[in-house]
Chains A and B, each alone.
Chain A
Amino acid sequence: MRSKLIPLSKFKIVVVINLVTSIAISTTGIYVLSVTASISRSISLGLDGDVLLYSSASKVPHTGLINVKAVNLTGDDEFLVLSPEVLTPVIVHGNPLFLRGLNLTLLDRLLNYSLVGRLPRSGDEVLVGVRLSNRLNISVGEVINVNAIPTGNEVAVLVTGLIISNTPLDDELVSNLQLSRRLRGVGDDYVTVIRLRVNNSHSITKRLEELPPLKRPSAPYVVVNKFLINRSLGDVELVDEAISRGINISSTLLWVSILLVLSISVLSIYFGMRWTLNTLEDVLKVLRSIGLSRFRLASMLIYRVMLVGMLSGATGYAISYLLLNEVFNALSVSILLHRVEPINDLTVLLTSTTLPPAVSSISIYFSVKDM
């Protein structure tokens, strides 16, 4: 009987507001988490559990360099894998991308991958990631010109294989350390990152604390020479500064977007509920006057907003995920030259489904309290 007095059709405004805020919260949440995860995966390759050592002097790990000798970890038995890697920004077919130089004999131990073709055997051969291959139409057996951004050197390299790993490596060129160092213009002692895989991460903590601080004065001599020839040494720092500034501002924007969407959603849901309750005021007053307690009245309304809120939350999340998946696939959205992939996140789903009913319930509490 009471459900006929307050039918769900009276909650149209609440449904609209809840659905809209759920989509906004889910879209923003999935977006922010996907982008931040992609930034971190672009250097870590998404290999959870690995310890990465990179320059603390550089604001973006991708542009930094560290001295292997200063770190002095080579040949230590406690590591399952110790993989020095050099990231070099290069231009291929007019597109900037990263060439990752690594010890190719460790590739099997580093990650699970499929290979079409063979591993490079010399310093003028490379592997191409599957997504990069599709994007730039590069095939196995092709000779491509690689233009190194740090040094300006141009080399012709043979593509010996196609790597499919479901990691950010699919967006990169992969070579041995020799080629990557040559294009970056650094000596044999310098790398961008050292990847350590250990049995027990606690055992490595004390060892890492003993490492010397990796400061900028350890910048390699070869790079200093190259930049002294063509332009001021300051360019290296300016590039680092420019990229890190962009990344930092974007990270701030992403977190601000979450705060903005959440706060405005709370406001919209609260006042949207008040609007609905205002239109239902006559019915609610009648129910109160015929003896329905505030508690019963509030629980009756809360039951409805719980139903509406949770359904809209789940629907909003599903719409957002499908939409972002389509957009990311259609537009090949990338960050730091690596593809962004939408990730499912339980926290976002829970926020999207619980926030609207929670805020609506608070709104109901304040309205019913005064009746």
Chain B
Amino acid sequence: MAYLLRLALGDLKLMIVEVVTISSIISLAAGVRALTNVVEGFRDVGFHALWDYLITVVYWELRLITYLWAAPIWVLFLISTYLTSSYLLNDLIPTCKVLTCLGASKYFVVKLLVLRYLLISLLSWLIGWSAGLTASQMFFRFTAYFLKAPYEIPYLNLYDLVELALTSHSLILLGITPTVIKIVRWSF
């Protein structure tokens, strides 16, 4: 297993760069989600007068503005995660070729690719949401202090984490699939 892990890690320097690049894209999505969660509180105004109409509409406008900013960033996150992932396993192609020439089984090569995928996607997700959440909280604190505005804590709930995990894992899997097919076809 340790041998397989060593092979899957490959060029460690390159893998770190790959993970950090994908993580930074995920952290953008996580930071944006944490910020949009702040305006989720803009619902219960608590006025039972005509003013309620005005405040509710203004709050609705503010929420819409935040969501409309978040939407294109999420689309960019989806597209870029998929596209960058398609280059993830390229450095493993020579390793797989050598292993096949040395007589490695199809099962072993696929196991190597799956392990590499799991390592990259799990690390990217973990680093991504942690960095995104921390950055959004730090920047919010700093900006609120600077603008003398009320401080709200940007946060991610469990649903957001699961959504980020599912989305990033699926997109990375989708991105590497052509390379995996190419390797498996070439090998056998």
Interface residues of A, Cβ cutoff 8 Å to B: 12-13, 16-17, 20, 23-24, 27-28, 31, 35, 89, 91, 95-96, 147-150, 152, 230-231, 235, 238-239, 242-243, 245-257, 259-261, 263-265, 267-268, 271-272, 274-275, 278-279, 320, 323, 327, 331, 333-337, 340
Of B11, B20, B28, B68, which is within 8 A of A260 by CB?
Answer: B28
| Alpha-carbon gap, A271 to B27, bound state (A) | 14
| Alpha-carbon gap, A255 to B141, bound state (A) | 11
Closest to A262 in B: B139
Residues of A within 8 A of B150 (CB): 245, 248-249
Residues of A within 8 A of B14 (CB): 275, 278-279
CB of B19 to closest CB in A, whole Å: 9
Of residues 1 through 60 on chain B, the ones whose CB sits less than 8 Å from some CB of chain A are: 11, 13-14, 17-18, 20-21, 24-25, 27-28, 31-32, 35, 38-39, 42, 45, 47, 49-51, 53-55, 57-59
CB of A108 to closest CB in B, whole Å: 31
The number of chain B residues with a CB under 8 A from chain A is 58
| Alpha-carbon gap, A72 to B66, bound state (A) | 42
**Contact in complex: B140, A252 (CB < 8 Å):** yes
| Alpha-carbon gap, A289 to B3, bound state (A) | 33
**Contact in complex: A256, B25 (CB < 8 Å):** no
Query: Do A271 and B69 form a contact, CB below 8 Å, given A13-B84, A256-B139?
Result: no
Q: Which 4 A-B pairs have the closest CB atoms?
A: A248-B149, A20-B80, A268-B24, A271-B21
CB of B41 to closest CB in A, whole Å: 9
**Contact in complex: A248, B147 (CB < 8 Å):** yes
**Contact in complex: A264, B27 (CB < 8 Å):** yes
Closest to A238 in B: B47
Closest to B29 in A: A264
**Contact in complex: A264, B53 (CB < 8 Å):** no
Interface residues of B, Cβ cutoff 8 Å to A: 11, 13-14, 17-18, 20-21, 24-25, 27-28, 31-32, 35, 38-39, 42, 45, 47, 49-51, 53-55, 57-59, 61-62, 64-66, 68-69, 72-73, 76, 79-80, 83-84, 87, 90-91, 132, 135-136, 139-140, 142-144, 147, 149-150, 152, 154
Closest to A242 in B: B55
Residues of A within 8 A of B62 (CB): 246-247, 249-250, 335
**Contact in complex: A253, B39 (CB < 8 Å):** yes
Between-chain CB contacts (< 8 Å), 9 pairs: A27-B73, A96-B53, A243-B54, A257-B32, A260-B28, A260-B136, A327-B68, A333-B64, A337-B57
Query: Do A149 and B20 form a contact, CB below 8 Å, given A20-B80, A323-B72?
Result: no
Residues of B within 8 A of A337 (CB): 57-58, 61
Most buried by A among B31, B54, B59, B154: B54
Query: Do A260 and B17 form a contact, CB below 8 Å, given A28-B69, A246-B42, A250-B39?
Result: no
**Contact in complex: B135, A260 (CB < 8 Å):** yes
Residues of B within 8 A of A279 (CB): 14, 87, 90-91
**Contact in complex: A243, B73 (CB < 8 Å):** no
